[in-house]
Copies of this chain bind each other. A is one copy, B any other.
């Protein structure tokens, strides 16, 4: 049983992923991706996404995002994204570094979802300023968002259509892509390239892997020389089999979807339970595995007292007597964990 709701990156690896790593530890194998696991991953990704893809495993979400954005955006370009997107605030400037000094143009959004009109406005401004302004080159959408919400397919389509009209490429930061997919109930293809996404950062670490993410290009031509880009960033493993094997296990037998479904269900239960408490309100729609709630400070303190881990969250519009917190569930979260937290919250309320 776990009282840790701080993040989904505190989880261990899923048993099936760990078993795959162990199984890959057999005798010598060609290095740098010449192994059978990497081949298997390529085939599996093509099958899952129902199209030819170019898939590049890397170690971290920061690497996946920064490499992908650098592939789309020249140094004199800019990436349009939500102003508090992970790429903009939590990666210590990795995208800017990989782009060679490119920029991110942050757009406000109360629910983490930017809108096509905002993209239009930035493009119009840039056009009016000509050479003095960086060139809008790509759009980065986080799916599920940093606020635990999920873009509807029509929202993605509207954004990518606008982007395409102005010559921008579309990147999806899918650190929690499986959680979004489960919420949407659609195919991986529908959630991505069929909705106009050019490149996906496919997260696995938060949802069951040890250290595995992948950059997936839906147009292999767009991946030209990406292998050199990855290499010179120090992100090409010599024993790549250990990375590819994780992703194979993650995608096979629907492990990723089962894990995400559990995390989402637990977040949903948690959200319902919290919302039913007096003085507690949800700050965002709970579409994936994150719950943002405002509650009395007394209640937040009581939960901490009871040993529950979570973050007080800055940047939320709450009343003076409210405390905003973030609770994250994972594939490891069980119904009893949620119930225990709710019980503690109820106790604080009664106290």
Contacts and interface: CB of A to CB of B under 8 A. Distances in A.
A282 interface: no
A147 B30 CA distance: 22
A27 interface: yes
Contact-residue size bin, chain A (C-beta under 8 Å from the other chain): 35 or more
A223 B160 CA distance: 28
Given A25-B18, A238-B205, A135 B232 contact: no
Interface in A52-99: 58-64, 66-67, 74-76, 78, 89-94, 96-99
B11 A18 contact: no
A240 to B, nearest CB: 9
A132 B92 contact: yes
Interface stretch (A1-9, A109-117, A187-195, A294-302): A1-9
A92 B67 contact: no
A102 interface: yes
A239 B205 contact: yes
A9 B97 contact: no
Contact of A211 (B30, B32, B102, B243): B243
A135 B96 contact: no
Contacts of A98: 101
Contact of A27 (B12, B89, B100, B135): B12
A108 to B, nearest CB: 11
Interface in A7-47: 7, 9-13, 18, 21-22, 24-32
A27 B9 contact: no
Interface stretch (A123-131, A252-260, A284-292, A342-350): A123-131
Interface string A194-212: 0000000000011000110
Given A28-B2, A62-B236, A225 B76 contact: yes
A304 interface: no
State the oligomeric state as a number of copies. 4
A185 interface: no
B89 A133 contact: yes
B74 A225 contact: yes
Contacts of A128: 314
Given A60-B238, A211-B237, A228 B28 contact: no
Contact of A93 (B63, B78, B236): B78
Nearest to A235: B234
Given A11-B239, A93-B101, 12 more contacts: A2-B27, A7-B31, A9-B239, A12-B27, A63-B235, A67-B234, A76-B228, A92-B228, A94-B231, A99-B101, A101-B101, A131-B231
18 contacts: A7-B31, A10-B28, A12-B24, A18-B22, A60-B234, A62-B231, A62-B234, A66-B232, A75-B100, A76-B97, A76-B228, A92-B232, A96-B96, A96-B102, A97-B101, A134-B228, A210-B239, A211-B237
Interface of A: 2, 4, 7, 9-13, 18, 21-22, 24-32, 58-64, 66-67, 74-76, 78, 89-94, 96-103, 125, 128-129, 131-135, 205-206, 210-211, 225, 227-229, 231-239, 242-243, 314, 332
